[in-house]
Amino acid sequence: MKTPNRIDTKFETLRAAGQCGFIAYITAGDPDLKTTPALVAALEQSGVDIVELGIPFSDPLADGATIQAASGRAIDAGATVAGVLDAVREIRRSSEIPIVFFTYLNPVYVYGFDRFHADAAAAGADGLLILDLPPDEAARNAELMKSHGLLSIRLIAPTTPPERMELIAKSAEGFIYYVSREGVTGEQTSLSADIATQVAEIKKHTSLPVAVGFGISTPEQAAEVAKESDAVVVGSAIVRRIGEYGKSAELIQKVAQFVSPIAAAVKKAAA
């Protein structure tokens, strides 16, 4: 019997409770790999439902300055794909929180596409979002379709036309990540005005949950998005605080203090 994926199970639990999910992104290995499991534990204790772990890469084109800097810090601290997998194994010693790898094709392909999927699944990852591998490109190469049980998370952007939404949705698993604004990752002072309209359009093409991210950085913004989506994604704002506190003894506490009010706002908004 196939073991249920942690991502699917989490969204089923949230749906049954009438709650919106909270997804947090951090760059694995920032400030170093030994701290990553502690940060994930703090996120979970603060109310995060799913963790996105970014695999450090030297040329993260879809990311803004904050996450680019985090990748640089992680690489400088010695982070490797193998090291990130080891960090996930360590997380799995004490936690069942769903984990999605957020990455670019290059690190995965250099590691070995099939080998990466097999090793990531064995380590305890649940999903994979490759930012620069469109589903139609993956479908042209059998090697790029092997998953070993990792769910293929797909991105939809504000500029994605309905016919392409349908194509992307057909190959998506776990949830759809809706990028709520054009451009790269990063905190924003205001939200896009058409999130509700775009989420409704996406839902015409899929029954999967829709998570909304890019630019959300405050409890107020998160609560607003939670009313229109199945999950809220916060990344750069958390990563910025990791950068600020680095290897300080206060790092874990400061991240938890920042994340907890956002998690509470997401849950309250959807209740």
Phi, psi of 155 (to 5 degrees): -100, 140
**Annotation says 44 is catalytic:** no
**Under 8 Å between Cβ of 145 and 139:** yes
Catalytic residue among 30, 49, 52, 187: 52
| 194: nearest Cα among 163, 157, 168, 167 | 157
Largest CA distance in the chain: 50
Interatomic CA distance for residues 29 and 88, integer angstroms: 11
**Annotation says 52 is catalytic:** yes
| Assigned token pair, 171 | 């190959």
Interatomic CA distance for residues 8 and 14, integer angstroms: 10
Chain centroid offset of residue 253 CA: 22
Catalytic residue among 8, 30, 63, 224: 63
Residues serving a catalytic function are 52, 63
